[in-house]
Structure 1
Amino acid sequence: MTEMDVSTMSGVRVAVVIPAYNAREYLAQTLQSVVDQTHKALEIIIVDDGSTDETASICRRFAASDSRIRILSTENRGVAAARNTGIQASKSDYIAFLDADDLWHSTYIQRMLSALQPLPDAWGAVYALHRFIDTEGYCTRSGSSLNARDNILNRHLVFRFVGNGSGFMVRRAVVDKIGGYDSSYARKGIGGCEDFDFELRTAEHFKIETVPLGLVGYRSHSAAMSSDRSRMARSLVAVTEQCIARNPELPAFVVSCARTSAHLYAFSKFAALKDWDSAAASLKHIYHHSPMLASGILTKLILSKAGRAKRRALSKVWPAREQKQKNLRKFEEIDPLLPLVGGWSRFRTKALLSRLSEIDRSGECSAATSSQEA
């Protein structure tokens, strides 16, 4: 960007919506990563979702020294409702979302806004990629490097590029068009993937840009919503089915791939819980798409169980040596330009991404033709 571009962009205000429920362990780190953003024109809205710990006092401490921060307190209604409360209270033309246990690189807002703001209004959102961090903020591994831009509904439905609720920024026009986050999942007891639902509904109406850098620190810990494996599995399947129902024009191939992708995730969660009835139900969906893929999954499961049993037996004979501590670095110390790695699998292949890309492009051409005819 030129100096003039940076100067023009610096005055564009962005609302940052942070839902927080009993978030005392990580909230201060999260808020500090927002306060330290290189883009300073921020409207920081924290929604205290009925916390019973020190969340409110941490928020007040930050607000006392930063006039950009506003605190809203509500009864506990779940993350989707909390985000909607923050959206409704915001006034900015751009809205970014951050969970109370995640981190942003200091250039996150600047890079996201620089990517989205110059684009035509047909582009409604932008997303970034992530790195996994532990309870102390150290990077433990890279997130997926896979990403796509423009009309991405079919690809995102199958590949789920964003991966969490802290890497998405939208124009206010998106909320005006699709509404906010769907809080009905939480009321049904299957909350957890409302962010994916919101992304899909955005992709149904807008083009989406990407900043393919690991600008989000996605924290893994036992108290996180994502740690409830069964609920997350059922939530993802429900979100996928809702999208399929809203879009009856989706090609049968895309529908099959989307269900397979969702049930691959669900199977891994159910198998980890030894919920074999639910795991078997997901495996049936996978088998319907590809018997070979289902067979490979069963083989991998059997081999992994055998491997674990062998390691347990060996550990009784030869006690495990202390492992050297890995040379981990804090999230904020990592150069955002350092490439992410991985994301491909036996199902998520380059050939599949290429085929879905063609379907997304053909959908764009069809939409353009219909617009011209109208």
Structure 2
Amino acid sequence: MALVSVLIPAYNARQTIAETLRTVQQQTYGDLEIIVVDDGSTDDTADIVSQFGRQDPRILLIRQSNAGVAVARNTALASSKGSLIAPLDADDLWHPYKIERQVANLRKAPVDVGFDYCWFVDVDADSIITRCYASRFEGDIYHPLVLGNFIGNSSVPLIRRALLEQIGGWDPRLRAADAQGCEDWLLYLQIAERARAVLSPAFLVGYRQLPRAMSRNVRQMTRSYELTMSYARTSRPTAPQGLFAQSRRDFDIYISGMRHATGGANAIHQTLAAMARGSQKGQPRFNSLSDMARRLLRTPRRGRHLDASVSRHGRPFGVVDPDEQCPICNLSG
């Protein structure tokens, strides 16, 4: 079996780190090392991780002064030994089969495949599912990635170590430029320059959505997006300019939704509706955030009764079959 290194950066994660670690411990794939980098927390995150480590020798705690998520992940990478790397944020969740399925998928993939990604769901503070996300891109995914980070978050991929080392890990320069937020998106573009991707089509990750999340900082996220797209234009100058124009339109609508998030569900619905309309007005027909918006706005046909037992929404992440169909989102594994 290939050793898989799980890299967890943690900053003031006392409310979620225990649940996150438990989902790693429950993986059906056993050949794991679990490296948690406490990035200068001021709460008792490190103490909680230490308690887990006393019971599970696979868990290693590293403490450092606060340096940002990219540096924390690179610290973990430098201390790891696995040939496959599985990043995980300190508030996200994994289905028990997550690593097993992705390792099996990579094992049978061609040698030019650098990583596997899966589908994910949003979860709230109580680990209740609120939304589902799925894409079907495989192979050369560079152009779809310019349109939007459909991989979704840092807890999704399983990456070949050699590829990460070739890239140099996560780029800390975004934080240095006061532009945190798109470190993962930038990394995925760098990977897509060099390797192909495969998909494990199941909802194997619970992506925690909290008001304090980095992605809620509009100014930082905008600056981070602009620097990431500047890199993409430079690294792939032959890419159609329409990709970047569509990407910017979708990103601006996404940011507009963040700014109006205090307006509640109605404001979010209006933002998604605007995204859906935008992709129907003669703009290039790319599978982008606009397509995601149309999907999220789908509602069951009038008069159709939805049995809660067959919907992910409103159910705890840990009890839902990752291959189960979701009639609300019309997505399935």
Sort the TM-score into its range (normalised by shorter chain). Answer: 0.7 to 0.9
Answer whether contact 2:131 2:313 (CA < 8 A) is retained.
no
C-alpha distance after superposition, 1:280-338 (max 9, x if no partner): xxxxxx9xx999589xxxxxxxxxxxxxxxxxxxxxxxxxxxxxxx9822101000001
Q: CA contact under 8 A between 2:92 and 2:208: conserved in structure 1?
A: yes
The 2-side partners of 1:162 and 1:343 are apart by 19
Answer yes or no: is the 8 Å Cα contact 1:233–1:270 preserved in 2: no
Paired with 1:290 and 1:126, the residues of 2 have a C-alpha distance of: 28
Note the C-alpha offset of 1:159: 3.7
Correspondence list, 1:106-145, <5 A: 106-142=96-132, 144-145=133-134
Equivalent residue, structure 1, for 2:25: 35
Q: Deviations over 1:142-198 (max 9, x none)?
A: 2x2223101110012214221111101100121122111011111111101101110
Note closer, same or farther for the CA distance 1:343–1:82 as it changes in structure 2 (3 Å cut): farther
Q: Distance in 1 between matches of 2:239 and 2:169?
A: 23
Task: Call closer, same or farther: CA 1:269–1:134 in 2, change over 3 Å.
Answer: closer
Largest Rg, 1 or 2: 1
Higher relative helix content: 1
* Kept in 2: contact 1:147–1:161 (CA 8 A): no
1:213 matches 2:202: yes
Superposed displacement of residue 273, structure 1: 8.0
Q: 1:269 to 1:40 in 2, by over 3 A?
A: same
Task: Tell me the residue number matched to 1:179.
Answer: 168
Alpha carbons of structure 1 residues 272 and 337: separation in structure 2 relative to 1, 3 Å: closer
Q: Name the structure 2 match of 1:72.
A: 62
Of 245, 248, 263, the residue aligned with 2:252 is: 263
Pairing 1:90–2:80 present = yes
Which amino acid counterpart does residue 181 of structure 2 have in structure 1? G
Residue 99 of structure 1, aligned match among 59, 70, 89: 89
Q: Which residue of 1 aligns with 2:318?
A: 332
- Secondary structure of 1:266's aligned partner: helix
Structure 1, unmatched stretches of 5+, are: 1-10, 275-285, 295-325, 345-374
Cα distance in structure 1, aligned partners of 2:151 and 2:261: 23
Q: How does 1:1-374 map to 2 (within 5 A)?
A: 11-142=1-132, 144-270=133-259, 292=281, 328-339=314-325, 342=329
Amino acid at match of 2:226: V
Unpaired runs of at least 5, structure 2: 264-274, 284-311
CA distance in 1, matches of 2:88, 2:177: 24
Q: TM-score, normalising length from structure 1?
A: 0.72
Is the deviation greater in 112-121 or in 48-57? 112-121
For 1:327 and 1:54, the matched residues in 2 are separated by 32
Q: TM-score, normalised by structure 2?
A: 0.81
Q: What is the DSSP-based 3-state SS (H/G/I as helix, E as strand, rest coil) of the residue aligned with 2:194?
A: coil
> Matched residues in 2 for 1:97 and 1:181: separation?
11
The structural deviation recorded for 1:343 is: 9.7
State the number of aligned residues: 289
Say if 2:130 and 2:313, in contact at 8 Å, map to a contact too. Answer: no
- For the Cα contact (< 8 Å) 1:234–1:266, is it kept in 2? no
Q: Residues 290 and 113 of structure 1: is their aligned pair in 2 closer, same or farther, counting only changes over 3 Å? A: closer
Cα RMSD (Å) of the superposition? 2.5
Residues 128 and 313 of structure 2 are in contact (CA less than 8 Å); yes or no, is this contact kept in structure 1?
no
Cα distance in 2 between the residues matched to 1:343 and 1:149: 21
- TM-aligned CA distance change 1:178 to 1:28, over 3 Å: same
The SS at the match of 1:204 is helix
Matched AA of 1:328: G
Tell me if structure 1 keeps the 8 A contact 2:216–2:258: no
